[in-house]
Chains A and B, each alone.
Chain A
């Protein structure tokens, strides 16, 4: 009897010890395992970054041991490339052309692209259906509204427009150019016959105003540049590759989930894009999917595409010399 009791006691103590150790392990695991990460987006909160929002809300980042403590939208003050170069943030989203130009002027020596989100550039030229501008040739003799930077310098929309016209050997001089703001206002007001925009965004403003639109996508006319890419400081690649891989995996999984579950993704986007409408964000996501999901693995970058960007920039006198591809990107984190 005494022996039995002894065994019981020992057994219970053992169980108690194991149980408390288990709890301790679990709790400590949660506390110590998450690495804080800061992210700088390319634009304001909208479905353009649906993958990131979904990854955050669905816990994909957490599964990789990452806690996103900052997910900042673009505010004209915090430039993604600068913030990465200065190590102010861990990851950022910027444009493929922006990265090459920054590298050419020595402002992004340590920045590297590790994934491409928008493989096909969403830059488009859109017009109201009645004007029947369906092909680039139809632009000749019309007024085009081009979105530019605050100081009047060309941004990607203008660059791609120019590149397309020269690719098709169309004389740009025969088109009347005016600078417009970011939106469909001028087009709807009739100030322009055709305006530049992102196919995922501005045309919908016209559609919501009850209009039908025609869209010309420079990407379909042989000029394409990678749009949204994820960048990171190269030191982080060396020092903390598991963190980088974790971030990429989670983000791409977020995009995959968004592609498969568009409706749910839109709901999640609305939590961040608090002042947007459901229909607008749904349109944006729907139009984004074919630009992101071209049938190949998400995020995978191709040499020819980067070469193309170099060529387009050089041909349009924005770049003097090719930027070496090794400095620009790496596919090592893409499955």
Chain B
């Protein structure tokens, strides 16, 4: 990638990361600030409402307590009733005042229909006999509606309670307090929930559900346990809100102040949007800056590169701007110096060559002073030229030959190393059991069975060594092209059959079918029968080893002035990669190496023999389709035996 692009991308990524981080941080802080502000707002409203409610209730309690004083213990009923009515008109929030005797019977009430009723079961009466009590936000049967009742005892001079005064407070007032919503925006609301989960104040949004709707959620649960706090939750309309909850202990109600989440966090969204826009603008600006900056670095480098190219292609007059005082400037400076030097050198060279030219011209002039001398000289120089050219050619040739022989030497060296390693291993392997067993036998007398076994092992390995040495000698003969063959006129069929009969026991042992097919085979061909034997024994042995042991086809036919032999097996076949190396010295294919432990000499020997006869050997094989070895031997046309049979 170009430097300029690299720089731009790096720059942009860095600034992106930085701006992302700063954006996120500022957003988080901003959100928190808004949230905190909201919470403090909710809290202060909650505190305010609580204070208002408490103030209101305390005032009423005070009024009710005061009304005691107006009741004359021994006064008449009418008097008492009058006093009660007076009190009610004084305080418009009290809707009913009544006196209850110790049995719980309402003796006097500003609502005469209540007189005579028994309130003995009512909590406010039971508690009110002892002290001033308030029963808030409960369902009053008399009202068939929720209400608040304040009760206080009327005691005689000895401190004994003689009756209880109870006042019913208009719940409307509480609702009014709760509904006063300044500071709560469009969706804000404060409401009360009692300890049976009933909504006991009016809802701002749904009419008539007070004291009908129950609200069960974790907030109420926590609140009724006395916990206070801020939370985001779904309110009774299933709208997402953020609110503050707090338990008013005296009245056993939860005070909730809430605001729609949307409205509460609208400023947050605005903040997010603002930050986002700022970020985008910043990023765009930065990209431009990045491009400019990258250019300022990349441009001089590019100039330098172009200059280098020009100089490289020979234009030594190329000049470079060295405006910058940084490392690139230094590089440019050195580059210019280098170019200068190059120019100087070139000029020097030019001088030299022009000098040389001059000298040559002078010489030539000298030479041409006398025509004859010049001609002779010219002729001589021609000869010299030719000779030097010849010498050059010879030198070249010699160098080539040297190269070749060096190559050859290297190959030979490699071959030598391979051979040595091969010989070392192959020789020592059979030697080991030989030596070991001999040591054992010399050390102590072995029982007959063991002795025989040891000796067999020794013999086996000795023969192996023998074979190895023979093979090695064969190879050396092949390698030094010293293989001597003794070709005589032989009957190929006969020789082949001899080979087959030699191998018959092994063939029979392995249950292999051998098929022969001779077409047009001349009666006599010129071959070294012993070598011929060697080749076919090797090929057939391979076929037995590698074939899958069912069938071997040996065929021979006349082809032009060659005789072509085929040895075909139906084994696994030879992979293509191995086919190319098959006839190389020391080459062992996978199967040969692992299973048959061959030394890799057999086919090399075959090749040597066949080529010594002037023939060719090659292999054709496809995986799972068996392998066929082809070899051709030339027919020496000098001696042709008349064909007895005419074969097609």
Contacts and interface: CB of A to CB of B under 8 A. Distances in A.
Direct A–B contact present (CB less than 8 angstroms): yes
Interface of A: 120, 134-137, 167-168, 214, 217, 219-222, 224, 256, 259-260, 287, 289-291, 293-297
Interface in B107-132: 112-113, 115-118, 120-121
B198 A220 contact: no
Contacts of B115: 135
A168 B120 CA distance: 12
Contacts, number: 53
B212 A294 contact: no
Contacts of B145: 290
5 contacts: A136-B116, A220-B141, A222-B121, A260-B212, A293-B211
User: Closest 3 A-B residue pairs measured CB to CB?
Assistant: A222-B118, A295-B139, A135-B116
Nearest to A138: B116
Contacts of B137: 295
A290 B141 contact: yes
A295 B117 contact: no
A134 B106 CA distance: 14
B213 interface: yes
A121 to B, nearest CB: 11
A256 B198 contact: no
A224 to B, nearest CB: 8
Interface string B131-151: 000000111011011100000
B214 interface: yes
Interface in B173-201: 194, 196, 198
Interface in B182-232: 194, 196, 198, 209, 211-214
Nearest to A295: B139
Contacts of B213: 260
A290 B144 contact: yes
Nearest to B117: A220
Given A134-B112, A137-B116, A222-B121, A295 B212 contact: no
Contact of B116 (A219, A221, A291, A297): A221
Nearest to A298: B214
A204 to B, nearest CB: 15
Contacts of A217: 141
Contacts of B138: 295
Nearest to A304: B121
B112 A219 contact: no
B547 interface: no
Contacts of A135: 115-116
Given A222-B120, A289-B212, A295-B138, 11 more contacts: A134-B113, A136-B116, A220-B141, A256-B214, A287-B144, A290-B139, A290-B141, A293-B212, A295-B194, A295-B196, A295-B198
B118 A294 contact: no
A220 B112 contact: no
Nearest to B114: A220
B243 interface: no
A249 B81 CA distance: 48
Nearest to A120: B141
B153 interface: no
B571 interface: no
Given A290-B141, A295-B146, A297-B196, A221 B112 contact: no
Nearest to B144: A290
Nearest to A217: B141
Contacts of B117: 220-221
Given A167-B118, A221-B118, A260-B209, A294 B141 contact: yes
Interface in B555-603: none
Contacts of A136: 116
B120 A259 contact: no
B522 interface: no
Contacts of B113: 134, 214
Interface in B87-116: 104, 112-113, 115-116
Contact of B139 (A134, A168, A220, A293): A293
A25 to B, nearest CB: 29
A219 B140 CA distance: 13
Contact of B142 (A220, A260, A287, A291): A220
Contacts of A222: 104, 118, 120-121
A88 B115 CA distance: 47
Contact of A296 (B104, B120, B196): B196
A219 B139 contact: no
A167 B198 CA distance: 33
A296 B211 CA distance: 11
B116 A259 contact: no
A45 B545 CA distance: 104
Nearest to B200: A295
Nearest to A290: B144
Contacts of B120: 222
Contacts of A289: 144, 212
Contacts of A293: 139, 211-212
Given A136-B116, A259-B212, A295-B146, A219 B194 contact: no
Most chain B beta-carbon neighbours within 10 Å: one of A136, A259, A290, A293:
A290
A259 B212 CA distance: 6
Contacts of B211: 293, 295
Contacts of A220: 117-118, 141-142
A297 B196 CA distance: 6
Contacts of A295: 137-139, 146, 194, 196, 198, 211
